[in-house]
Structure formats: structure tokens, C-alpha cells
Structure 1
Amino acid sequence: MARNGEGDPGEISQQQQLPLQPRRSGSGRRIRARPDPFLVVCRCFCVITSVSAILCIAVNVWSAVRSFKGGYDVFDGIFRCYAVLIAFLVVLAETEWGFIIKFSKILEYWAGRGMLQIFVAVMTRAFPNYDGEEKELILLQNIAAYLLLACGVVYVFAGILCIGFLKRSRQQKEITREQAVHDLEELERRREELEQLLIVEEGV
């Protein structure tokens, strides 16, 4: 029979041979913030608008080269160059680059973006009086112009309904949520490091 305060030597040696098991923490799973469906839809629409503007750029460049090279109409070529520059501004506005928004505050508002997109669509669709050999150019002009026109109309109505303000508000909340998730992950990582340190000290 073992004395009080003393255990079986075999049991003690067996306990000493057992490795220390680290405590499991719930931080093994990566914390992820769910994407806002509204912002996902807005980003998809921005991509569609950007693609439409890029298509307008391509069409106007093609038309400008045709006008200058063939000597058809120099004024039409100059007009197309301006259309390319404004369409490029539309693409930059869709990226919501801080410099562009600061340079032109009106592009921060969806109604302003929509009016600019409609203007580019009208410029792209203007002067389509080409000969019968330019059917592909006319077709691309129509596709690019009407697609960007539709995006511009949606932007104008969404701006009137203050959807742009709602988007900016949700973006700010998403940034705050992502920062909170990042801080929480950092705390969980630090807690795991402290737990491992305690386990090492207990084993010494």
C-alpha cells in the first residue's frame, strides 16, 4: 500500500514518459468575413461598365485610324480621339482610384458617372455613315454604344435613388469588418504563441 503523498513508482514513471499534449484552440480555423452580396453585384456591374468602355475605346481607335489613314474625314478622326480620351476616363472612374475621384469629384456620384457614360456612348454612335464594306465596324459601334448607354442609364437612375451613397456606406463597413477580422486573427496567433510558450515552460 502506498504512503500518503506518494504514488506508485511505475505509475509515476509512466506519467513522466507521456508527452505533453498542447491544448487545442479554436483558432485553427481561419476567420473569414462574408462578402456583402450587394457589393459583389456592384463590382460585377463595374466590370461590365469597364468592358463596355474599353470596347468603345477600341471602336473609336479603329474609326480614328480609318479616318486619318484613308483620308475620309479628318474631323471625324479628331472627334474619335476625344471619344477615346473620355472613354478612358470612364474606365478610370470605375476603378474608383482616389486620385481620379479627387481630381473630379463629380465622378464620385453615380449620376455624374452615368451622364459621362451616356455622352461617350453618343460619341461612339455618332457619324456611322460608312460604306458597305464597314459592316463589322458599324456592328461593333452599335454593340459598344448601346451597351455603355444601358450602363449609363442604370447609373443615372441608381444615383437618383442614392444607391451610390449606400454602396459607399457598405464599403466603409466592409473595410471596418476586415480590419476587425485581421486584428482578431492577430490576437489568436499571439494567444497560440503564448500557449506554446507555456507548454514549453511546463515541460522543463
Structure 2
Amino acid sequence: MSTEEEFGETSQPPPVRVPSPTRVRSRSDPFLIVCRCFSLVTAITALLCVAVNVLSAVLCFYHAKDIFGGIFRCYAVVIALFVAVAETEWSFITKFWKVLEYWVGRGMLQIFVAVMTRAYPQVERQDLILLQEISSYLLLGCGLIYIICGVLCIQCLKQRREKKEVSREQAAKDLEELERRREELEALLLEENV
């Protein structure tokens, strides 16, 4: 009688079950969340400037007393739309207008739109004047914050953290893929043992 038969052991060892590693939970970086929220606020403010300038242009053309003011407002609408689209950081925009890739350039464009919205021409309606002031001062503030942050190299910090977040997300995806593959191989191994 062999020692395996004495102890009741079979010729094949039982499969070893390795506990699965804990899933990596990706936490968003609070700094990047603040940057995204600020970008959203800036885009909404630029769209508010678009609305104000459209209303002002319509009033200028409707009364036909200030054609040049209406044309000025049309340019302000186009540039404000461009500011809102630039906040999406769409690669098509930054590819052709490299200055908008940098926060200082983006801030200067926002200040320009704020001044265009506020400065010329004045309309008689008080509600529109109030809306002009609110939108222009908000966009002016956003532009100043962009310029200050650009000068202080906060943009470099943001880009570094974005790269780290992308690499962390990729590592988590790779880990999940490896775990899924391991489970498939374990299932295959159990089928062969049966």
C-alpha cells in the first residue's frame, strides 16, 4: 500500500484558489475637478456673453439707428462662441490656434470679449444693461484668473496631474483585464481537472 492511499490522497492535487485582488477604485483628483468646474463656469459665462450680444445686435439692427453697433455685436458673438468652444480644449481648436493652448492667451481673449460685451454700444433697456454688466464682469474675472494661473504655471501642474490620472486609469483597466483573463484561465483549469 502506498503512502498516498494511506492518507486518502489522489494522484491530482486540488486546484489552488488564489484570492482575487481588490479592485482599484479610481478617485478623481480634486484639483482636476476644480479645474473642470472652472472651465465649465467660463464656458457658461461666455455663452451668456453670446446671448447678451445677440440681443444687443438684434436691438441695434431692429431700430436701424446703430448699424455699426450691430456689426460690432456680431463680431462679439463670434469671438464669444470661440471662447466657449476653446474651453472644451478640443484638439482641433488648439491645433490651429496655439495661443489658446496657454492659459495666458486664453485669459486675454476672455478679457477682450468681456470688454467688447461691456463697452460699446449702450442700449436703453435696463435689464439688458444689467445682463451685459453681469456677463462681462464674470468673464473678466475668469480671464484674470486664467492669466494669473498661467503666470504662476498652474497649467503645468494641471497637465502633469492629467497625465498621472490617465496612466492610473490605464493601469486600472489593464489590471481588470488581467484579472478577467486569470478567471478565464482558472475556469479552464477547473474544467481540465474534472
State if a TM-score over 0.5 links the two structures. Answer: yes
Matches within 5 A, 1:92-103: 92-103=85-96
2:20 matched to 1:26? yes
Distance 1:60 1:117 in 2: 14
Q: How much has 1:200 moved relative to structure 2?
A: 1.7
Distance 1:175 1:107 in 2: 22
RMSD: 2.2
Q: Given that residues 76 and 116 in structure 2 are in contact (C-alpha distance below 8 angstroms), is that contact kept between their aligned partners in structure 1?
A: yes
Distance 1:124 1:130 in 2: 12
Q: Given that residues 22 and 196 in structure 1 are in contact (C-alpha distance below 8 angstroms), is that contact kept between their aligned partners in structure 2?
A: no
Q: Which amino acid aligns with 2:173?
A: H
2:142 matched to 1:151? yes
Poorly superposed stretches of 4+, deviation over 6 Å: none
Corresponding residue of 2:117: 124
1:48-100 deviation per Cα after TM superposition (whole angstroms, max 9, x unaligned):
00010000001001111111112131101100111111111111111001110
Q: Given that residues 57 and 83 in structure 1 are in contact (C-alpha distance below 8 angstroms), is that contact kept between their aligned partners in structure 2?
A: yes
Corresponding residue of 1:78: 71
Q: Given that residues 63 and 77 in structure 1 are in contact (C-alpha distance below 8 angstroms), is that contact kept between their aligned partners in structure 2?
A: yes
Note closer, same or farther for the CA distance 1:22–1:76 as it changes in structure 2 (3 Å cut).
farther
| Deviates further, 36-45 or 165-174 | 165-174
Q: 1:50 pairs with 37, 43, 49, which one?
A: 43
TM-score, normalised by the number of residues in structure 2:
0.89
Gaps of 5+ in 1: 9-19
Distance 1:135 1:54 in 2: 20
Corresponding residue of 1:179: 170
2:82 matched to 1:89? yes
Q: Give % identity.
A: 59
Q: Given that residues 22 and 199 in structure 1 are in contact (C-alpha distance below 8 angstroms), is that contact kept between their aligned partners in structure 2?
A: no
Distance 1:21 1:137 in 2: 76
Larger Rg belongs to: 1
Corresponding residue of 2:159: 168
Q: Which amino acid aligns with 1:88?
A: L
Distance 1:6 1:22 in 2: 23
Q: Given that residues 67 and 76 in structure 1 are in contact (C-alpha distance below 8 angstroms), is that contact kept between their aligned partners in structure 2?
A: yes
- Find the residue that maps to 1:194 and give its secondary structure: helix
Q: How much has 1:172 moved relative to structure 2?
A: 1.4
Q: How much has 1:127 moved relative to structure 2?
A: 2.4
2:72 matched to 1:106? no
Distance 2:174 2:128 in 1: 53
Q: How much has 1:32 moved relative to structure 2?
A: 2.2
Note closer, same or farther for the CA distance 1:24–1:72 as it changes in structure 2 (3 Å cut).
farther
Distance 1:7 1:93 in 2: 75
Aligned residues: 189
- Find the residue that maps to 1:130 and give its secondary structure: coil
